[in-house]
Amino acid sequence: MGNFEVLTTDRRTDARLGVLTTSHGSVETPVFCPVGSAGAIKGITPQQLKETGSILILANTYHLLLRPGVDVVEKLGGLHKFMSWDSPILTDSGGYQVFSLSNLTKIDDDGVEFASHIDGAKIYINAEIATEIQNRLGADTIMCFDQCTPFPCDDSQLEKAVERTIRWAKRARQAHTRPDQLLFAVVQGGINPSLRRHCACELVKLDFDGYAIGGLSVGEGHDDMIKTVSLLTKSLPQNKPRYLMGVGTPADIIDAVTAGVDMFDCVLPTRNGRNACAFTEEGYVRLRNTTHIQERKPVEVGCDCYCCRNFSRGTLRHFFNVGEMLGPILLSLHNLRFYQRLMERIRQALKEGRFSDWAAENLPRYKTFYR
């Protein structure tokens, strides 16, 4: 048996319930991964993170390479010890930073030269280097180096990025030295259907442990993103996990699960939490608003998170207004728990054979609140 098993599929959609097996335990899918770019989920202890229901988390190769450096992480016992996390960890390759730090990069067919966003120092990453770094960091699931393009992007630029991504994936596969780590390829191609299919087809020939869908949620909009995802899930193997990178809102996740995606990551829960914005079943709650000054109810009635069990909206508003660090921490905890509760409901609906009905009932509300 491989590292991924589909346990059940929805009768009326492409949604599926699965289990991903890694060196640090198994993960039920669909799953949402909190993002800890520099080796920590901002403001959240590992124990608190566990209490939100999080199992699989993400760290960033580029940021850890800059600080503290791969040698330091190794000397401190590897990434799991470094992050004090005994469950599975996923690392991205730095390919997203090719897009997000494009004003600091020079790209050629071999790789990418970055000017560090910290001090301008030159850093070179290619397929082999990105793979070696991730091998040394020791995450359970690692990504091939890829070229993430902006939106909009002309077809000639997209085509060049796709061909580089395919070549780099071949080189990453050859450079990969740790059989205890799962290696995922990243499918690129913007919202161009033929380029997406071509990229997926060439990567599938190489038989990776899983396939990530990159280059989305960069400005193309929800409908084009889901159209692209739906196209790709039909082009990717049924017996391999599918990971939609950097996505997204609750509506994005439900639509992508419906299309057959298994794994997600996004900074939204913690980023919004740090900015006094809470996810709830009735939409955003903005804690800085004056309407909450004397509000005694929690962020969300019925939520079982530490924040909602212990603090009122009025208290939280005060924390944010006086710059008390507890405010962002508590709201990040709530938002992380909101996302994990969403994933738990999705998985439960799949187990009970009612996912399509559940999605039809809940998706319109989420699209109204969170698009």
Strand order across the 210-213 sheet: 31-33, 263-265, 242-244, 210-213, 182-187, 141-143, 89-92, 57-60
What distance lies between CA 369 and its chain's CA centroid?
21
Residues 6+ apart with CB under 8 A from 282: 300, 369
User: From CA 256, how far away is CA 213, in angstroms rounded?
Assistant: 11
Establish whether 304 is a catalytic residue: no
Domain boundaries, the chain: 32-266, 278-371
CATH of 32-266, one of 3.40.1080.20, 3.90.79.10, 3.40.630.30, 3.20.20.105: 3.20.20.105
Rounded (to 5) percent helix, strand, coil in the chain:
45, 20, 40
SS3 24: coil
Establish whether 92 is a catalytic residue: yes
Place of tokens 């600091």: 104
Closest CA to 143 of 188, 103, 197, 105: 188
Closest CA to 366 of 256, 261, 259: 256
Q: From the candidates 92, 140, 146, 209, give the one annotated as an active-site residue.
A: 92
Structure tokens of 330? 């508590």
Under 8 Å between Cβ of 41 and 34: yes
SS3 125: strand
pLDDT values of the chain reduced to their tens digit, one per residue, 371 residues: 469 999 999 999 999 999 999 999 999 999 999 999 999 999 999 999 999 999 999 999 999 999 999 999 999 999 999 999 999 999 999 888 877 888 888 999 999 998 888 899 899 999 999 999 999 999 999 999 999 999 999 999 999 999 999 999 999 999 999 999 999 999 999 999 999 999 999 999 999 999 999 999 999 999 999 999 999 999 999 999 999 999 999 999 999 999 999 999 999 999 999 999 999 999 999 999 999 999 999 999 999 999 999 999 999 999 999 999 999 999 999 999 999 999 999 999 999 999 999 999 999 999 999 86
User: From CA 208, how far away is CA 222, in angstroms rounded?
Assistant: 28
User: From CA 251, how far away is CA 364, in angstroms rounded?
Assistant: 8
Give pTM, 2 decimals: 0.97
pLDDT of residue 102: 84
Q: From the candidates 140, 209, 252, 265, give the one annotated as an active-site residue.
A: 265
Distances (CA, A) of 66 to 61, 63, 195, 245, 281: 9, 5, 33, 22, 39
Structure tokens of 92? 């991205």
SS3 45: coil
